Structure 1
Amino acid sequence: MKLYGFPGTRAQRALWGLKEVDADFEYVHVNLLEGEHKRPEFLRINPAGKVPVLVDGDRVIPESAAIVLYLAEKYPEKALLPADIEERAQAFRWTLFAVTELEQPLWRITRHTFLYPPDRRLSADIELARDDFMTMAAILEQHLEGRQFIVGERLSVADCVTVYLIDWANEAGLIDSFPGLQAYLERLYARPEAPPRIADARKAA
């Protein structure tokens, strides 16, 4: 397998999955700063021009959450998806919660702070996105009370997808008032399978 990525991006999320299942893979560095994601050779792999992308033989899987779910199905013995149907439903629920309710406001903040040209940045949308994130983060904080992981008694796809976002939010100073999320972040990144934190990964970019 090959994982196409760039340090500090959602490729870190795919790395979580690959490391947790102990997969044999090659990491292919796609230099976003030099526009390699817009070159024809990469666009043939992912027409959206985004990382990460996992290539497994003839299978090409973009989207970081989809990669983690694919790995969970490919390596069922690693139990990233719970066997129990009720717990599995909860794993799907919290995975989708992460990419819809947590990730989207973080992206809005990032776009209007760094990515958009200055004349297109909306400070009001940054504040709205912060409010949206804080509201949803409070729900996750409450859910994690008394829990080590989001679902069940072991790490699942929901954790692989979510913990990267909590690190992202930490970089933006958004979890200072959430001690449960801070503890969750430290606990999961202490795992030997954990990829580098976003700040450390950026240093290698």
Structure 2
Amino acid sequence: MKLYGFAATRTLRALWGLKELDLDFEFIPVNLLKGEHKLPDFLSINPAGKVPVLIDGDRIIPESAAIVLYLADKYPDKGLLPTDLEERGQAYRWIMFAVTELEQPLWRITRHSFLYPEDKRLPADMALAREEFADMAAILDKHLEGRQFIVGDKITVADCVTAWLIDWANEFRLIDNFPQLRAYLERMYARPNAPQRIAEARAAA
């Protein structure tokens, strides 16, 4: 397998799944700062021009959450995807919650902080996005009371998808008032198979 990715992006989420499953793979860097994601060779792999992308034989899987789910399905004996139907449904639920309710406001904050040209940045939208994130983060924070993981009693796909996102929120100091999320973040990154923190990956880029 080959994973195309770059530094502190959602590549780290895909790496988490690969590392937790203890899989052999080749990492192929795509330097976004140099525009390598816009080159024809990469666009032939992912026309969206985004990382990460997993190549497994003839299969091409873009989108970080899809990569984690694909890997968990391919290696069911590793236990990253619950076998119990109720727990599996909950894992799907929290993955969707992460990528829609939590990740989208983080993208808005990121875009208006430094990705957009300065004349297109909207401080008011950043403020709204922070409020929206906080409202949804409170739900996950409450859910994690008395829990080590998001679903069940061991790490699942839901954690691989969500933990990196909580670290992203932490970069914006958005979890300061959520003790369960802060504790969860520390637990997850204390795992031996955890990828780099976002700040570490950014510094190494």
TM-score (norm 1): 0.99
Distance in structure 1 (CA, Å) of the matches to 2:203 and 2:118: 25
Q: C-alpha deviations, 1:13-65, integer Å up to 9, x for none? A: 00000001111100001000000000000000000000000000000000000
Distance in structure 2 (CA, Å) of the matches to 1:199 and 1:78: 29
Alignment match, 1:54 = 54
Alignment match, 2:25 = 25
Distance in structure 2 (CA, Å) of the matches to 1:197 and 1:52: 16
State the AA in 2 paired with 1:192: P
Alignment match, 1:63 = 63
Distance in structure 1 (CA, Å) of the matches to 2:85 and 2:122: 43
The range that moved more, 113-122 or 95-104, is 113-122
Alignment match, 1:97 = 97
The answer for unaligned runs of 5 or more in structure 1 is none
Q: CA deviation at 1:104?
A: 0.1
Distance in structure 1 (CA, Å) of the matches to 2:78 and 2:148: 18
The answer for unaligned runs of 5 or more in structure 2 is none
Say if 2:13 is the partner of 1:41. Answer: no
Q: CA deviation at 1:98?
A: 0.1
Alignment match, 2:86 = 86
State the AA in 2 paired with 1:80: L
SS in 1 for 2:27: strand
Identity %: 75
TM-score (norm 2): 0.99
Distance in structure 2 (CA, Å) of the matches to 1:200 and 1:110: 18
Distance in structure 1 (CA, Å) of the matches to 2:47 and 2:67: 17
Point out 4+ residue stretches in structure 1 off by more than 6 angstroms: none
**1:74-153 residue pairs with structure 2 within 5 A?**
74-153=74-153
